[in-house]
Amino acid sequence: MNVEEIKNLIQKSIMDAEVIVNSDDNVHFEAIIISDLFIAKTLIQRHQMIYQSLGSKMDSEIHALSIKALTKEECN
């Protein structure tokens, strides 16, 4: 799994998302996802949306994922 694959999976699921994914080793990842679909969602709900987009990859190919899930307004 690489950063582009993760980015594409998230963008397919969260259509309006701006997604930035970084990794030094393609096992441990950091993702910043910006989407207005997160409005009125709790932090847990936001993370669940992202985990759903990655599906079984979270169990097998991604060892660790640090997530920042923000609305566009929260970025300003």
- 1-55 pLDDT, tens digit per residue, is 899 999 999 999 999 999 999 999 998 999 999 999 999 999 999 999 999 999 9
User: What pLDDT is recorded for position 61?
Assistant: 85
Record the pTM: 0.91
Cα separation of 49 and 72, whole Å?
A: 17
Domains of the chain: 3-75 (3.30.300.90)
Q: First-to-last CA distance in the chain? A: 31
User: What pLDDT is recorded for position 58?
Assistant: 86
Coil, helix or strand at residue 69: strand
Q: How many CB atoms lie within 10 A of CB 7?
A: 17
User: What pLDDT is recorded for position 50?
Assistant: 97
